Amino acid sequence: MKTLFTLILLLSSALVLGQNVGWIKGTITDAQTNEPLPFVKVKLMNPDSTMNTGVLSDIDGVYVFNGIQPGTYSLLFEGIEFKTAVFTVSVQPEKITFQDVKLEAAAKELEEIRVDAMAIGRMPGVQLASMQVRGSRARVKAYHSPESYTKITENTFTAVATDPLSTFSIDVDRASYSNVRRFLEDGSLPPIDAVRIEEMINYFPYEYPMPTDGSPFAVHTEYTDCPWNPAHQLVKIGLQSQQIDASKAAPNNLVFLIDVSGSMSSEDKLPLLKKGLYLLIDQLREEDKVSIVVYAGAAGMVLPPTSGMRKDKIKAVIEELTSGGSTAGGEGIELAYMIAKNQFLENGNNRIILATDGDFNVGVSSDGDLVRLIEEKREQGIFLSVLGFGTGNLQDAKMEQLADKGNGNYNYIDNILEAKKVLVEEMGGTLITLAKDVKLQVEFNPMLVKGYRLIGYENRSLEDDEFNNDKVDAGDLGAGHSVTAIYELIPAGSSEQLPGVDSLKYQSTTIQNGNYGNELMTVKVRYKAPAGVVSKLFTLPVKASKTPFEATSADMKFISAVIEFGLLLRNSDFKGKASYVHVIETAEKALGNEKNDYRSQFIRLVRIAESLPNAR
């Protein structure tokens, strides 16, 4: 049955991608014990040796080559302490070629064993624990290193009669979507807590008009029906910040803090980071200053403050970066802050960009000390952004927290196109802060709304009285950034019982002060200037003018499709009638005239998720 599911998955994925390709799959076992052999190198080569690609078998001894062009190939199997085996296979279009292998035991030279052990350490989800060598034989111990995600308890519906205010901090992080994409493209569903719906929504650009009154942002709203629960409604709050020409922006004092520890050696980590940094360096100007600090067993500055015009020098230093050693993240951060302070620009952008898989295990004595350090430097005008890389030991929870406390952004980069999106297309938002400590507070009208649920933003919730407290930290809005929040509403007059709340006997929904029967809610936004300490207040009453879902904007349709997809991936208690089919139908109606194919790529991901045997 497992093989049948695998066959359906692989063939479905091939058809979805429109590729006339085949697949190779098999299980590697010990010829003597019949036990599965994990971490075996499998190389795929064509007859003229122009193609040479490889994979490692997983913990169950299973290996897979995806999307292979039809033809004849050689498979080379190399396992620690096992004889090398070679097989010839023929790949047919839209078919799986099965090639199981039994390997015979054999001693290997110490040099070869070390290479294999390093390969094991690069396998997603696996850490090399130890390697004992005796003569020409070795015993390798490895363990799974699970990725770290903060547990998310979804927001529930709240009764307006008893709690009419909803208060939260904005979130411009987009890491969750690209991380979810990485899991799906690898053929598995993401962990539920890796799915942060607000970050999935905010990953995409929308056609929100820019502010025209000199404010750093404009607020846009939209009110429609809820497609996954027809008895409910949706209301959108969208913030669009002012776009700034990066060539005319204030000068940058940038310190790249780069993790070069052993865990960063795989292609999707340090090598990908280096390619992404080349793209960013090309955007720098003469007035920009760049420094590079690396950390592994110890921290050090490999590039002193250098003008952005010295691109060849900066790239040459990046090119020489190699991985190895343990991780001293805390020491690296302290050195980076010292350099940033020494080069501080009073009227510029002072920022550290930390690039890592998040595996901090040496340095500042505790996570608490690290957070306090970042908060202290934030108050001195030095902000911190985080770029996450790699698989297996991604410390997502810690990286999100560091960026949050550092008044910066957290992005996860899984390929070179994502690096270009974050470091080139969205560089203004990544580097230039227009408004900091941005908080939203929504007051709902009980005459029109019985209950509400903020979708996502669970770890950005604030107490109502914190909205007016300028000492409370909140999210930051970069140049050109858009931020979207969606509420799911239960309309007044609904017979639906709210969770944990009995019908009230004495409360009235009559408005006592003024005639506000045509207002659905009031949106209030508090924010500070990048160097400010006192907040400003923006207020917007939202009229109760509901548009039928089919007549709503393409942006609203697409946002609802992203939410519905997130609810399915989370197997949410609030997914109602959500389905992958409906997500695809809705998203296809919202493609519009997109310039970057992000929405088309989204549909492809939904199809992949739908094809998985364990789809939620």
Task: List pLDDT tens digits, range 224-241.
Answer: 999 999 999 999 999 999
Quickly count helices (H) and strands (E) in the chain.
Answer: 14, 26
What average pLDDT does this structure show over 337-341? 95
Question: How far apart are the C-alpha atoms of 57 and 40, rounded to whole Å?
Answer: 5
- 504 pLDDT more than 60: yes
C-alpha distances in Å from residue 192, one per residue of 5, 197, 616: 22, 11, 10
Pick 2-106's CATH classification: 3.40.228.10, 2.60.40.10, 3.40.5.10, 3.30.300.130.
2.60.40.10
What average pLDDT does this structure show over 118-138? 46
pLDDT at residue 60, rounded to an integer: 78
DSSP string, 220-285: EEEEEE-TT-TTSEEEEEEEEEPP--GGGSPPEEEEEEEE-SGGG-STTTHHHHHHHHHHHHTT--
Order the strands of the 252-259 sheet from edge to edge: 299-307, 289-295, 252-259, 349-356, 383-389, 410-413
More confident position, 117 or 228: 228
C-alpha distances in Å from residue 373, one per residue of 119, 339, 378, 380, 382: 36, 15, 9, 11, 11
Kindly give, in sequence order, each residue whose CB lies less than 8 Å from that of residue 52, ignoring residues fewer than 6 positions away: 43, 44, 45
- 3 pLDDT more than 70: no
pLDDT at residue 111, rounded to an integer: 42
pLDDT at residue 340, rounded to an integer: 95
Task: List pLDDT tens digits, range 315-329.
Answer: 999 999 988 766 666
Question: How far apart are the C-alpha atoms of 454 and 239, rounded to whole Å?
Answer: 16
| Structure-block tokens of residue 492 | 């007044």
pLDDT at residue 123, rounded to an integer: 47
What average pLDDT does this structure show over 174-187? 92
Range of weakest confidence among 80-94, 398-412, 573-587: 80-94
pLDDT at residue 121, rounded to an integer: 43
pLDDT at residue 484, rounded to an integer: 97
pLDDT at residue 437, rounded to an integer: 93
- 17 pLDDT more than 70: no
pLDDT at residue 314, rounded to an integer: 96
pLDDT at residue 211, rounded to an integer: 93
Contact indicator for 24, 57 with CB cutoff of 8 Å: no
Strand partners, 241: 217
- 416 pLDDT more than 70: yes
Question: How far apart are the C-alpha atoms of 80 and 95, rounded to whole Å?
Answer: 31
Phi/psi of residue 526, nearest 5 degrees:
-110, 140
Phi/psi of residue 125, nearest 5 degrees:
80, 5
**Length reported for the chain:** 616
The pTM of the full predicted model, rounded to 2 decimals, is 0.75
Task: List pLDDT tens digits, range 26-59.
Answer: 999 988 888 888 878 888 887 665 566 778 887 7
- What's the pLDDT band for 21 if we cut at 50, 70, 90? confident
pLDDT at residue 146, rounded to an integer: 63
Q: Which of 580, 499, 615, 525 is nearest to 155 (CA)?
A: 499
Domain-by-domain residue ranges, the chain? 2-106, 158-243+434-611, 246-431
- DSSP class of residue 548? P
Question: How far apart are the C-alpha atoms of 167 and 438, rounded to whole Å?
Answer: 11
Cβ neighbours around 587 below 10 Å, total: 21
Contact indicator for 221, 542 with CB cutoff of 8 Å: yes
- What's the pLDDT band for 531 if we cut at 50, 70, 90? confident
- What's the pLDDT band for 14 if we cut at 50, 70, 90? very low
| Structure-block tokens of residue 362 | 């040496």
More confident position, 172 or 203: 203
pLDDT at residue 309, rounded to an integer: 95
Question: How far apart are the C-alpha atoms of 402 and 375, rounded to whole Å?
Answer: 9
Contact indicator for 164, 444 with CB cutoff of 8 Å: yes
| Structure-block tokens of residue 340 | 């940033």
Task: Provide the mean pLDDT of the chain.
Answer: 85
- 132 pLDDT more than 60: no
The alpha carbon dihedral of 406, 408, 414, 420 has a sign of negative
Task: List pLDDT tens digits, range 155-174.
Answer: 999 999 989 999 999 988 89
Range of weakest confidence among 79-93, 95-109, 126-140, 361-375: 126-140
Range of weakest confidence among 6-10, 237-241, 336-340, 363-367: 6-10
Percent of the chain with pLDDT over 90: 52
More confident position, 394 or 131: 394
- 339 pLDDT more than 60: yes
Highest mean pLDDT among 113-117, 578-582, 591-595: 578-582
- DSSP class of residue 20? -
Q: Which of 229, 162, 136, 148 is nearest to 193 (CA)?
A: 148
- One fold for 2-106 and 246-431: no
Range of weakest confidence among 7-21, 193-207, 349-363, 482-496: 7-21
Q: Please state the separation of Cα 427 from the chain's center in Å.
A: 17
Range of weakest confidence among 143-147, 248-252, 320-324, 528-532: 143-147
The domain 246-431: what is its CATH number? Answer: 3.40.50.410
Phi/psi of residue 203, nearest 5 degrees:
-65, -30
What average pLDDT does this structure show over 335-356? 93
Contact indicator for 17, 46 with CB cutoff of 8 Å: no
The alpha carbon dihedral of 548, 540, 528, 473 has a sign of negative
> Furthest-apart CA pair in the chain: how many Å?
89
pLDDT at residue 581, rounded to an integer: 96
Kindly give, in sequence order, each residue whose CB lies less than 8 Å from that of residue 231, ignoring residues fewer than 6 positions away: 490, 494, 496
Angle among Cα 452, 453, 454 to the nearest 5 degrees reads 125
pLDDT at residue 548, rounded to an integer: 97
pLDDT at residue 293, rounded to an integer: 93
- 614 pLDDT more than 80: no
Q: Which of 485, 581, 495 is nearest to 542 (CA)?
A: 485
